[in-house]
Amino acid sequence: MDLREKISSGLKAAMKEKDAARLSTLRLISAAIKDKDIALRGQGKPEGVSETDIMAILGKMVKQRQETARTYEEAGRLELAAQELAEIEVIEEYLPTPLSEDEIDAAIDDTITALEADSIRDMGRVIGALKTRYTGRMDFGRVGPMVKDRLSA
């Protein structure tokens, strides 16, 4: 079952269980995917959103909610922060499990070796290869500096 089907079946299950919070979050996910589908059709890509695109959308949604929850906590609005954190839990159910620090280090080293990257000029190729294989499983905001350190050493 692909990710789009999992989300759709989760949406149906939330409707049957009358789980309003979960249903709301799944509808937001579904709407974001449909928005991206429409945008791609406008660009002449009728096939729509790929699995990788869906994982990127979900990852972006998680980051947005983390930032919003942090803002709410700083403002003392703990009930709103809790709501954002609950939405993150629902979204993360559809993302693959993130890699551990050791797994990230190994993936970076393997990719650098496989691409025979030896200078900072190869950073784009390395990051591109990592994104192709590990989208949704690692935070590329943290991985970029790690790759840069390895290539400049």
In terms of pLDDT, which residue wins out, 48 or 113?
113
The pLDDT of 4-19, averaged and rounded, is 93
Burial class (CB in 10 A: 0-12, 13-18, 19+), 98: middle
Residue 47: per-residue pLDDT = 80
Burial class (CB in 10 A: 0-12, 13-18, 19+), 105: middle
pTM for the model stands at: 0.74
Residue 14: per-residue pLDDT = 93
Domains of the chain (ranges plus CATH)? 3-92 (1.10.1510.10), 101-152 (1.10.10.410)
Residue 7: per-residue pLDDT = 92
Beta strands in the chain (DSSP E): none
Check whether 38 has a pLDDT greater than 80. yes
Cβ count near 100 (within 10 Å): 10
The pLDDT of 27-49, averaged and rounded, is 88
